[in-house]
């Protein structure tokens, strides 16, 4: 698994079962046994998924993993959401400038620009 | 034409594929939006992070052409980017490759689709495809990095006023 936290979170959530586990844990803590029930798979298989989520910092559980409930680390989950939001805001900011450029553009230009090419160094 | 500020940018980071989709509506006809995306003088006015200026070094906007631009802040060059214009389909579609010169092994394939929504409005959908999930995550994280840098620059400004 790759090093940086965001990559780990993304990788952990790349699996549909793990996304479902996260969705269920967002409602409340649950034991491994409970989590295994709807999938018709072994507790071991679910434990494996939980291990990936745990390594990504998305889920925490105590040493006695069979009994103790799994807990969603909401902060880690939000970390990813925040990073995407940051990226979105950047795009938003850029497109806000584009809005202004579009509003200032000369209407008459748009009628005959279609086959106009820009070549070479422009600066 | 009055700019409406309620057009929201939507970002979709696919959980299974190394892609990012950016969707945004504009209050302008497709021809106009397409031109703002392909005319270097217009591109330079909006592309690139806030508080930087974009200098277009090369811009040959035709199918098979290429481009290069750099971003500057206070007379210092921050980064350069280059790529090919894979396909230009006026008012409809623009396909480009994109490489950050600081990471020459990485290449992103970008497809912009300009969809006429009627009433002089256009939906632009940008699909960016890279080769690994890690590269995709880095692309998103770089937004964070730029944001932090900007934040520090603002802080510098505040501190300098003291």
pLDDT, tens digit, for every residue of B12-53? 888 788 999 999 999 999 999 999 999 999 999 888 777 788
pLDDT value at residue B112: 96
Is any Cβ of chain B less than 8 angstroms from the Cβ of A109?
A: yes
Pair A99, B26: CB distance under 8 Å: yes
| Nearby residues of A17 by Cβ (< 8 Å), 6 or more positions away | A39, A49
Q: Which residue has the higher pLDDT, B97 or B155?
A: B97
Which chain B residues touch A119 with a CB distance below 8 Å?
59-60, 62, 65
What pLDDT band is residue A38 in, cutting at 50, 70 and 90? confident
ipTM of the complex in this document: 0.70
Which chain A residues touch B5 with a CB distance below 8 Å?
96, 99
Which chain A residues touch B52 with a CB distance below 8 Å?
none
Q: Of B133, B143, B40, whose CA–CA distance to B85 is shortest? A: B40
Lowest average pLDDT, out of B77-81, B124-128, B141-145, goes to: B141-145
CA distance A16 to A9: 13
CATH label of the domain that carries residue B26? 3.30.530.20
Exposure letters A5-41 (e unless 16+ CB within 10 A, then b): bbbbbbbbbeeeebeebbebbeeeebbbeebbeeeee
Nearest CA in chain A to B54: A123
Q: Identify the top-confidence range among A51-55, B45-49, B158-162.
A: A51-55
Mean pLDDT, range A36-64, rounded to an integer:
86
What pLDDT band is residue A66 in, cutting at 50, 70 and 90? low
Domain residues for the domain of B70 are: 10-161
Question: Are B147 and A90 inside 8 Å of each other by CB?
Answer: yes
Task: Say yes or no: domain A1-105 is CATH 3.40.50.740.
Answer: no
Q: Closest Cα of chain B to A104: distance in Å?
A: 9
Question: Are B137 and A100 inside 8 Å of each other by CB?
Answer: no
Q: Closest Cα of chain A to B71: distance in Å?
A: 12
Q: Is residue B2 part of a domain?
A: no
pLDDT tens-digit series, residues B60-100? 999 999 999 998 888 888 888 999 999 999 999 999 999 98
Question: Are B133 and A11 inside 8 Å of each other by CB?
Answer: yes
pLDDT value at residue A116: 46
Question: Are B5 and A96 inside 8 Å of each other by CB?
Answer: yes
Nearest CA in chain B to A108: B32
Q: Number of Cβ pairs closer than 8 Å across A and B? A: 142
Q: Which residue has the higher pLDDT, B150 or A104?
A: A104
Residue A78 CA: distances (Å) to CA of A52, A81, A85, B129, B157: 17, 5, 10, 24, 30
Nearest CA in chain A to B139: A87
Give percent above pLDDT 90 in chain A.
Answer: 17
Which chain B residues touch A121 with a CB distance below 8 Å?
56-59
pLDDT value at residue B3: 43
CA distance B148 to A92: 16
Mean pLDDT, range A20-35, rounded to an integer:
85
Pair B154, B49: CB distance under 8 Å: no
Q: What is the dihedral of CA A13, A14, A18, A24, to 10 degrees?
A: 50
pLDDT of residue B154 exceeding 80, the answer is no
Is any Cβ of chain B less than 8 angstroms from the Cβ of A112?
A: no
Residue B135 CA: distances (Å) to CA of B55, B103, B162: 26, 11, 41
Place of tokens 């256009």: B122
Task: Nearest by CB to B1, from A7, A83, A103: name it.
Answer: A103
Q: Closest Cα of chain B to A24: distance in Å?
A: 18
Task: Nearest by CB to A84, from B13, B24, B146: name it.
Answer: B13
Quote the radius of gyration of chain A (alpha carbons, Å): 24
Is any Cβ of chain B less than 8 angstroms from the Cβ of A1?
A: no
What's the total number of domains in chain B?
1
Q: Is residue B90 part of a domain?
A: yes
Question: Are B3 and A84 inside 8 Å of each other by CB?
Answer: no
| pTM of this structure | 0.64
Q: Identify the top-confidence range among A63-67, B2-6, B28-32, B102-106.
A: B28-32
pLDDT of residue A109 exceeding 70, the answer is no
Q: Is residue B89 part of a domain?
A: yes
* Domain boundaries of chain A, sorted by first residue: 1-105
Indicate the average pLDDT of chain A. Answer: 77
């Amino acid at each position: 698994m790759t090093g940086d936290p965001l990559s780990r979170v993304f990788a952990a959530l790349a699996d549909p079962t793990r996304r479902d586990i996260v969705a269920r844990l967002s409602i409340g803590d649950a034991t491994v046994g409970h989590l295994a029930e709807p999938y018709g798979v072994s507790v071991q298989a679910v434990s494996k998924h939980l291990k990936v989520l745990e390594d990504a910092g998305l889920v925490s559980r105590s040493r006695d993993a069979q009994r103790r409930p799994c807990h969603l680390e909401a902060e880690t989950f939000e970390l990813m959401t925040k990073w995407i939001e940051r990226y979105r805001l950047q795009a938003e900011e850029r497109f806000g400038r584009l809005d202004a450029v579009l509003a200032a553009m000369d209407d008459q230009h748009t009628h005959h620009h279609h086959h106009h090419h820009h070549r070479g160094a422009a600066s | 034409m009055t700019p409406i500020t309620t057009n929201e940018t939507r970002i979709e980071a696919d959980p299974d594929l190394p892609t990012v989709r950016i969707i945004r509506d504009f209050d302008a006809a497709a021809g106009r939006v397409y031109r703002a995306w392909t005319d270097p003088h217009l591109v330079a006015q909006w592309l690139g992070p806030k508080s930087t200026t974009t200098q277009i070094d090369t811009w040959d906007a035709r199918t098979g052409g290429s481009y290069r631009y750099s971003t500057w802040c206070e007379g210092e060059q921050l980064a350069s980017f280059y790529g090919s214009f894979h396909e230009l389909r006026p008012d409809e579609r623009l396909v480009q490759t994109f490489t950050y010169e600081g990471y020459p092994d990485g290449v992103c394939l970008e497809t912009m689709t300009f969809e006429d929504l009627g009433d002089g409005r256009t939906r632009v959908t940008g699909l960016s495809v890279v080769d690994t999930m890690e590269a995709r995550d880095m692309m998103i994280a770089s937004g964070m990095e730029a944001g932090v840098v900007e934040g520090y620059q603002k802080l510098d400004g505040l501190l300098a006023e003291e």
